[in-house]
């Protein structure tokens, strides 16, 4: 499976995964139809499936036109999405594409919105297969986990988002993180304010700046890098607890308070 990050709208990404050998593809979060259709035409590939992580229009607005171009495409979306003909999926649901070559497992990841789901792809067989091909492990996580950060709370609670991020954190370290926006540089500026002495974070900031200077996407990252540098995945680290304490003017009572303090700080950063 080869995944291409296709820019759309102002700073969105549509992710298109192509079958090895070509011909078929999966499209994640088509916020705009034209760039996805142009990519697929150029690749000579037909959309076999469309993945929808949540119902914000910058992730769904291209769906109608994309389906008109590829009427056979199966749409997987959150339960009760209201999308006509879509298959509603929730926690633990599995499906496969490319005649079973790639399996997907659905994780419910509320917080950014209440209905938000993420799709974990595993090319090794089933979604839980620890012996699978590492290079094919990919997470399509919309606006839940960002490279270096996480989504705003626009419908879910801090506790929901904290639990969703903890769930994603249990995925293998080599899992590639395909998120919905190019927000990495700003996210890492905030991360540095929270953890100025994190050496791995400082190194990542340099790598990301070099990519952006060349106009290249910073997506995907890998889960291991996120766990080492993303403050929202580090709620139990002393440094992050201390940063939250500074915001609250008292020690946070639990990881939910640590998360909420960081998220509020970032909202105004």
- Of 36-44, 90-98, 135-143, 247-255, which segment contacts Zn ion by CB under 5 A? 135-143
Active-site positions read 54, 56, 58-59, 112, 143, 181
CB-closest chain residue to Zn ion: 56
- Of 33-41, 139-147, 201-209, 257-265, which segment contacts Zn ion by CB under 5 A? 139-147
Q: Smallest distance from the beta carbon of 59 to Zn ion, in angstroms? A: 6
Based on the shown chain and the rule CB under 5 A, indicate whether residue 143 belongs to the binding site for Zn ion.
Answer: yes
Print the SS3 string covering 47-88. Answer: EEEEECCCCCHHHHCCHHHHHHHCCCCEEEEECCCCCCCCEE
56 or 234: CB nearest Zn ion: 56
Distance of CA 91 to CAs 86, 114, 199, 208, Å? 16, 13, 36, 33
Q: Smallest distance from the beta carbon of 54 to Zn ion, in angstroms? A: 6
- Of 42-50, 136-144, 168-176, 207-215, which segment contacts Zn ion by CB under 5 A? 136-144
113 or 221: CB nearest Zn ion: 113
**Is residue 115 a contact partner of residue 54, using CB atoms and an 8 Å limit?**
yes
5 or 114: CB nearest Zn ion: 114
Q: Smallest distance from the beta carbon of 67 to Zn ion, in angstroms? A: 21
How many residues lie near Zn ion (CB under 5 A)? 2
Q: Smallest distance from the beta carbon of 161 to Zn ion, in angstroms? A: 12
Q: Identify the sign of the CA torsion 228, 230, 233, 238.
A: positive
CA 108 – CA 253 distance, rounded (Å): 26
Distance of CA 202 to CAs 64, 108, 165, 198, Å? 42, 32, 22, 6
Alpha-carbon dihedral angle through residues 255, 258, 264, 266, given to the nearest 10 degrees: -100
Per-residue x/- track, 46-65, Zn ion (CB under 5 A):
----------x---------
Q: Hey, what are 86's tokens?
A: 């879509």
Based on the shown chain and the rule CB under 5 A, indicate whether residue 115 belongs to the binding site for Zn ion.
Answer: no
Based on the shown chain and the rule CB under 5 A, indicate whether residue 116 belongs to the binding site for Zn ion.
Answer: no
56 or 67: CB nearest Zn ion: 56
- Of 63-71, 142-150, 161-169, 255-263, which segment contacts Zn ion by CB under 5 A? 142-150
How would you list the strands of the sheet with 2-8, edge to edge?
2-8, 12-18, 24-28, 46-51, 74-78, 87-89
50: number of Cβ within 10 Å: 25
Residues that bind Zn ion in the complex, under the rule CB under 5 A: 56, 143
């Amino acid at each position: 499976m080869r995944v291409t990050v296709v820019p759309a709208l102002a700073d969105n990404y549509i992710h298109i995964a192509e079958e090895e050998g070509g011909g078929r593809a999966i499209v994640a979060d088509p916020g705009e139809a034209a760039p996805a259709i142009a990519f697929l035409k150029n690749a000579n590939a037909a959309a076999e499936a469309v993945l929808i992580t949540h119902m914000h229009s910058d992730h769904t607005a291209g769906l109608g036109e994309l389906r008109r171009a590829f009427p056979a495409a199966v749409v997987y979306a959150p339960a009760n999405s209201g999308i006509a003909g879509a298959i509603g999926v929730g926690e633990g649901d599995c499906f496969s594409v490319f005649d079973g070559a790639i399996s997907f497992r659905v994780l419910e990841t509320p917080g950014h919105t209440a209905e938000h789901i993420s799709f974990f792809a595993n090319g090794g067989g089933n979604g839980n297969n620890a012996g699978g091909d590492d290079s094919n492990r990919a997470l399509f996580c919309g606006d839940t986990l960002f490279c270096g950060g996480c989504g705003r709370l626009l419908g879910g609670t801090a506790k929901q988002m904290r639990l969703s991020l903890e769930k994603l954190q249990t995925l293998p370290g080599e899992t590639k993180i395909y998120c919905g926006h190019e927000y990495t540089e700003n996210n890492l500026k905030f991360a540095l304010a929270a953890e100025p002495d994190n050496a791995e974070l400082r190194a990542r900031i340099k790598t990301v700046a070099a990519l952006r200077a060349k106009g290249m996407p910073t997506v995907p990252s890998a889960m291991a890098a996120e766990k080492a540098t993303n403050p929202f995945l580090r709620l139990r680290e002393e440094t992050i607890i201390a940063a939250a304490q500074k915001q609250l003017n008292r020690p946070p009572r639990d990881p939910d308070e640590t998360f909420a303090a960081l998220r509020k700080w970032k909202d105004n950063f």
